[in-house]
Chains A and B, each alone.
Chain A
Amino acid sequence: MNFERDSARAVEDKNLQRALVNVTDRFRAARKRASDETPGWDALRDRAREIKKHTIEHLDDYLLQLEENIRKAGGHVHWARDAEEARNIIIDIARRNGVRSVVKSKSMATEEIELNSGLEAAGIRVVETDLGEYIIQLAGEHPSHIIAPAIHKTRHDISELFAEKLGVPYLSEPQELTKVARERLRDEFLGAGMGVSGANFGVAETGTIVIVENEGNARLTTTVPRIHVALMGIEKMLPRFGDLSLFLPLLVRSATGQKTSTYISLITGPRRATDKDGPEEFHLVLLDNGRSGILANPETRESLYCIRCGACLNNCPVYRKVGGHSYGWVYSGPIGAIINPQLMGIDKAPELPFASSLCGACRDVCPVKIDFPKVLLELRSEVVTQKQKTGGASALLEALSFKLWRAVVTHKRIYELALRLSYFAQRPWKTRKARGGGLRSLPYPFSRWTDERDFPAVSETPFRERWKKMKRSEGGAS
């Protein structure tokens, strides 16, 4: 990943900038309205956080309880340590049943394990059925927003894409495009041997998995094919069935601002012997893939409370400029900045904990009150510690600079002298073009700052002296 390069590119992309403002403004306003209209919203968030905390602290018990109840209902439970194992489990189920075509509903966990390329490599056709994901799959791209995966594409992009890939005439209206997708995907649903979904929640008490959606594609995916496989991160657990009455409204209102989503499916095992439809086989794949490692650090453990509503993305001043793809992996925005480095290994995404202004807007809207700034700071400290350990010239230089800086600022005389020297030293770079007579560009290593923004110029009279003067004149006046 390369956050610096990709975010710079995103900021230059005019279509993307327009789409980002459009979608995040809309979702933000809707979330605000929905939460304002819900009596005791803040207390509900506290309650949800407490339940999540309890659940994560007893995760082993609740996973075992879920497993037992799913088995009682006639379903199968699989455990996957990592992405590869999860992929293999799902491919095995497909192979054992002679499945040649799979329909998928939207799931970040399946993105995380790169299920589609795994299935394709095994010779199994896979079709995304959420409209946004379908568009993304046709374009050969990755989702850019948890809730609205294709927001970075304009209707014109999609019209051209459909014309090229589906052989339909150029259609400019979203209604017409949606109709084409509906017809194509209906055939896919009826012909598929297996449906793969994610899960928003797993309920230990009843062995139920819950899927929240608006389109109905997840219902089709989990009802029509003979086999249903759900992939769920182990952190998505809830202890009691009744917990859903709290978490469902929190999730939907935080995500889209709807009072509730169009469809919520509570699925407990495969069809019963007397049922006329529904899948004959139900499999749940529990995915660890680094989550138990997050749990091991009490400082960052709360990252696992996340219910993937996307509110932190919409409210993040950084995400709103750089978009989802800049984060380099499945999860984006503030939640991506904290879980990508923890799931991938901090050495693989060392830039992400710094991709934040620490303003805390994410924490303010989070339905489970994850303390993002705290977790980000913790991760930053890990990045720095690791950098120091692995050494390298830049780490050494950085450590030296800070030592020097400390020596300067803790000695008054040296500090004053340094200020004086800087005032003269900066002269060649001073320009009127910069705001407030600042410095527009400096030589390396300071160019790392001035490439992106101006550096304020050192004043001729240091603040301390001005302060003294002000005090004196005040004293004289009274």
Chain B
Amino acid sequence: MTTGSREEILHRIRKGLGRGEGAGHADSEAPLPQNSGPSSGADDKRCKDDLADIFAESLSGVNTSAYRASGRDGVLEFIKSFVNERRLESFSIWETEFLKSLDIRGSLEVAGLAVKSAENKAEIALSSVGITEADYAIADTGTLVLLSGPERPRGVSLIPPVHLAIVKKENIVSNIGELFGILNKFYEDHKTTPASATFITGPSRTADIELNLTLGVHGPKELHVLIVY
């Protein structure tokens, strides 16, 4: 009986706290303590170019390669050499406005890679690379932030052995505090919260066997990030 349990648990809590029944105490009392997380120390007046440099450096500290390109041609040139060097055969990709505008999908198909549907987990599992666009990135920790949505299936950044994330330079923020400020505003503006927001820092890893670091235990073995200027 879940309804009975709900009432009973709430009753036990209120009794334990020495209060009467009924909710609504939290708001009426002293304001909550400030919750800002660690800052970078330096005042965050760093410009986006600086942040991109810091972000790239943080990425190298978590087994992740950072690349830079500017403009559609620059991006496509990078993508071509990226897939050629690794002899990648197939891919699945997010259909965000930005990625569509670059037409990465079209150019990969021209290059002879098979496109796998991003809507089906079994198909994604057959891709040699998953390509996504990070909504935000955190410079200080080398973190990518991926929100779920209609054109942004979660499996693409998770199931294939290689993950290539593309992030616009202007979406790089300084630290986690700034990120939560932006996410809060994003949720308020859209009057909704996405089903999933995933923070990714480096490739999948484990140290469960004698503390030996092993990459790619469940998620991608390789993570690559392209910063678009």
Contacts and interface: CB of A to CB of B under 8 A. Distances in A.
Interface stretch (A257-265, A329-337, A372-380, A390-398): A257-265
A46 to B, nearest CB: 9
Nearest to B30: A54
A241 B197 CA distance: 12
Given A215-B217, A216-B219, A220-B218, A150 B208 contact: yes
Given A268-B193, A275-B150, A178 B206 contact: yes
A351 B72 CA distance: 67
A296 B16 contact: yes
A148 B211 contact: yes
B211 A245 contact: no
Interface string A400-424: 0000000000000000000000000
Given A38-B38, A61-B26, A245-B176, A292 B16 contact: yes
A202 interface: no
Contacts of A177: 209
A262 B157 CA distance: 13
B162 to A, nearest CB: 14
Contact of A81 (B8, B149, B180): B8
B26 A265 contact: no
A461 B122 CA distance: 84
B206 A223 contact: no
B183 interface: yes
Interface string A172-215: 00110110011001100010000000000000001110000011
A47 B34 contact: yes
Most chain A CB within a 10 A radius of its CB, from B33, B122, B155, B205: B33
Given A263-B200, A266-B197, A131 B209 contact: yes
A296 B214 CA distance: 44
Interface stretch (A151-159, A446-454, A469-477): A151-159
A270 B195 contact: yes
A246 B26 contact: no
Interface size class of B (residues with CB under 8 A): 35 or more
Contact of B198 (A214, A240, A266): A266
Contact of B13 (A59, A239, A265): A59
A277 B119 contact: yes
B14 interface: yes
Interface string A52-83: 00100111111110000000010000111100
Contacts, number: 261
B18 to A, nearest CB: 9
A26 B194 CA distance: 37
Given A47-B33, A181-B217, A39 B17 contact: no
B106 interface: no
Classify the interface of chain B: helix, strand, loop or mixed. loop
A61 B23 contact: yes
Nearest to B138: A260
Contacts of A358: none
A248 B208 contact: no
A274 to B, nearest CB: 4
Interface string B184-215: 10010000011111111111111111111010
B171 interface: no
Contact of B209 (A38, A79, A129, A150): A150
B195 A271 contact: yes
B198 A79 contact: no
A296 B38 contact: no
Contact of B196 (A23, A64, A267): A267
Contacts of A261: 201
Given A54-B33, A268-B193, A62 B121 contact: no
A214 B180 contact: no
A177 B214 CA distance: 10
A61 B24 contact: yes
Contacts of B204: 214-216, 262-263
B80 interface: no
A50 B33 CA distance: 7
A278 B14 CA distance: 36
Given A215-B218, A260-B201, A272-B195, A39 B208 contact: no
B211 A26 contact: yes
A138 B146 CA distance: 34
A277 B153 contact: yes
Nearest to A69: B193
A296 B9 CA distance: 12
A172 to B, nearest CB: 11
B154 interface: yes
B71 interface: no
Contacts of B193: 73, 206-208, 268-269
Interface string A97-115: 0000000000000000000
B2 interface: yes
Nearest to B125: A190
B198 A263 contact: yes
A222 B39 CA distance: 31
Contact of B2 (A47, A89, A295): A89
Contacts of B154: 219, 223, 277-278
Contacts of B2: 78-79, 89
Contact of A129 (B118, B125, B218): B218
Contact of B36 (A57, A85, A245, A264): A245
A274 B17 contact: no
B26 A81 contact: no
Contacts of B148: 271-272, 275, 278
Contacts of A462: none
A185 B218 CA distance: 8
Nearest to B12: A292
B47 interface: no
A58 B26 contact: yes
A217 interface: yes
14 contacts: A22-B211, A23-B211, A44-B37, A60-B14, A178-B209, A216-B219, A217-B218, A249-B38, A263-B201, A263-B204, A276-B119, A292-B16, A293-B12, A295-B16
Given A47-B33, A64-B23, 5 more contacts: A175-B212, A217-B217, A241-B184, A249-B38, A293-B12
